[in-house]
């Protein structure tokens, strides 16, 4: 099929979706067409992704408690409110005891799985033992599944963190286009990020990655290539969120990504990687109040309510207008939301498939 075709009939789109349900593969040209679907035809894609989700990972929605333990970052990601040149943000690094106490509270609230997230805090590059120490304590005393998302480290450090008890690692590539990547990350390059993803896979992590939808200068070709890169990396977790311009960053005047584009990315990810874990992200919920429900109905099967102490919540602002509620409210809202669409909350660790 050529992407030059302006439109598939509904019948042709249904046939294409049926074919993908069986093959889990799409050509570059097909993807270019699909990432530009209009709202009406996108419903056909979402229904297909929802069917594949049901068949491959069931009706369970896994809840992970998110702890944002440091907003200090040395990186210059041009879209991010925590980028190092933003001096409007008050920086914090939670003490190890605070991280443990937050994890303990989350476990008491019923979370079987935690996500520890931070900026790329240089303290941990020189004090990896401190991070490994608190992870090891959480793992040994609380017996929970642990996902870490703390940026780029050496392979040796990834190994140290794995040995300490981290099960999964999230490191999004954000865009598959090397030139755009460089523009958005002036201190970094795509190859470095892909190398880190390779290290993580070799170290035996359940690896997660993902991208942003609607970045400035993103084209349908780049969008399609983002999805093909996911397929090639064959990861067990995929996080996808819309670009949301932050007033304290160089991209403050740009248009945000769309809810529709983000949902299309979620649905196509489910079709290309049928058994992967896909969160309904808070960023999407910020853009569209029903965004997380729509994502759960377009292929997603994970939610990550924030359990960080309230005093730090406001300070961890990757993007503006972040949803900010107490840990209890966040969990209760997530449970209600899941049950409102006839799905069930899972209280198991919800491990991602390990790839060889």
* CA dihedral sign of residues 101, 172, 296, 143: negative
Closest to ligand SF4 by CB, 241 vs 305, is 241
Selected binder of ligand SF4 within 51, 75, 91, 105 (CB under 6 A): 75
Q: Applying CB under 6 A, what is the total number of residues that bind ligand SF4?
A: 10
Closest to ligand SF4 by CB, 9 vs 126, is 126
Distances (CA, A) of 330 to 145, 207, 341: 20, 26, 17
Stretch that binds ligand SF4, among 21-29, 57-65, 75-83, 211-219 (CB under 6 A): 75-83
* Alpha-carbon dihedral angle through residues 177, 183, 186, 192, given to the nearest 10 degrees: 0
Task: Return the structure tokens found at 2.
Answer: 């050529």
Stretch that binds ligand SF4, among 72-80, 132-140, 163-171, 342-350 (CB under 6 A): 72-80
d(CA 177, CA 222): 6
Closest to ligand SF4 by CB, 168 vs 193, is 193
Closest to ligand SF4 by CB, 50 vs 248, is 248
Q: Which of 281, 266, 199, 275 is nearest to 34 (CA)?
A: 266
Stretch that binds ligand SF4, among 3-11, 58-66, 70-78, 90-98 (CB under 6 A): 70-78
Q: Counting contacts by CB under 6 A, is residue 240 touching ligand SF4? A: no
Selected binder of ligand SF4 within 30, 68, 98, 120 (CB under 6 A): 120
Q: How many other CB atoms are there within 10 angstroms of residue 104's CB atom?
A: 15
Q: CB–CB of 63/331 below 8 Å?
A: yes
Residues 6+ apart with CB under 8 A from 343: 59, 60, 61, 296
Selected binder of ligand SF4 within 77, 148, 238, 302 (CB under 6 A): 77
Site for ligand SF4 in 131-160 (CB under 6 A): 151
* Alpha-carbon dihedral angle through residues 106, 109, 111, 114, given to the nearest 10 degrees: -10
Task: Quote the least distance from Cβ 43 to ligand SF4, whole Å.
Answer: 32
Q: CB–CB of 110/136 below 8 Å?
A: no
Site for ligand SF4 in 288-347 (CB under 6 A): 318
d(CA 215, CA 184): 9
Using a 10 angstrom Cβ sphere, with 0-12 exposed, 13-18 middle and 19 or more buried, the burial of residue 294 is buried
Q: CB–CB of 344/160 below 8 Å?
A: no
Task: Quote the least distance from Cβ 75 to ligand SF4, whole Å.
Answer: 4
Task: Quote the least distance from Cβ 74 to ligand SF4, whole Å.
Answer: 8
Binding marks (x or -) toward ligand SF4, 80..119, rule CB under 6 A? x-xx-----------------------------------x
Q: Counting contacts by CB under 6 A, is residue 121 touching ligand SF4? A: no
Task: Return the structure tokens found at 195.
Answer: 């190398």
Beta-bridged to residue 236, according to DSSP, are: none
Closest to ligand SF4 by CB, 315 vs 349, is 315
Closest to ligand SF4 by CB, 81 vs 274, is 81
Closest to ligand SF4 by CB, 146 vs 318, is 318
Closest to ligand SF4 by CB, 283 vs 318, is 318
Closest to ligand SF4 by CB, 73 vs 237, is 73
Q: Which residues bind ligand SF4 (CB under 6 A)?
A: 73, 75, 77, 80, 82-83, 119-120, 151, 318
């Amino acid at each position: 099929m050529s992407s030059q075709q302006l439109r598939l009939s509904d019948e042709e789109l249904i046939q294409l979706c049926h074919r993908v349900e069986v093959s889990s593969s799409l050509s570059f040209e097909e993807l270019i067409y699909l990432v530009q679907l209009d709202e009406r035809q996108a419903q056909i894609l979402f229904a297909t992704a929802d069917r594949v989700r049901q068949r491959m990972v069931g009706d369970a929605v896994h809840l992970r408690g998110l702890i944002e333990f440091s907003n200090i970052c040395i990186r210059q990601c041009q879209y991010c409110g925590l980028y190092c040149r933003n001096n409007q943000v008050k920086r914090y690094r939670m003490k190890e005891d605070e991280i443990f106490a937050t994890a303990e509270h989350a476990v008491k609230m019923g979370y079987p799985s935690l996500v520890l997230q931070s900026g790329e805090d240089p303290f941990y590059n020189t004090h990896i033992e401190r991070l490994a120490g608190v992870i090891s304590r959480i793992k040994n005393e609380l017996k929970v599944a642990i996902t870490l998302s703390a940026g780029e480290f050496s392979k040796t450090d990834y190994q140290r963190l794995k040995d300490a008890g981290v099960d999964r690692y999230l490191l999004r590539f954000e865009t598959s286009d090397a030139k755009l990547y460089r523009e958005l990350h002036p201190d970094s390059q795509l190859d470095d990020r892909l190398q880190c993803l390779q290290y993580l896979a070799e170290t035996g992590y359940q690896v997660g990655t993902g991208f942003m939808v609607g970045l400035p200068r993103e084209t349908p070709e780049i969008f399609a290539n983002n999805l093909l890169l996911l397929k090639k990396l064959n990861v067990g977790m995929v996080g996808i969120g819309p670009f949301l311009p932050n007033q304290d960053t160089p991209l403050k005047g740009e248009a945000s990504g769309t809810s529709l584009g983000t949902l299309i990315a979620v649905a196509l990810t489910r079709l290309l990687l049928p058994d992967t874990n896909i969160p309904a992200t808070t960023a999407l919920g910020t853009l569209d109040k029903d965004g997380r429900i729509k994502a759960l109905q377009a292929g997603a099967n994970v939610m990550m309510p924030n359990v960080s102490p309230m005093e730090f919540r406001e300070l961890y602002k990757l993007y503006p207008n972040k949803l900010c509620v107490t840990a209890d409210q966040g969990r209760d809202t997530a449970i209600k939301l899941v049950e409102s669409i006839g799905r069930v909350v899972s209280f198991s660790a919800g491990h991602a498939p390990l790839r060889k």
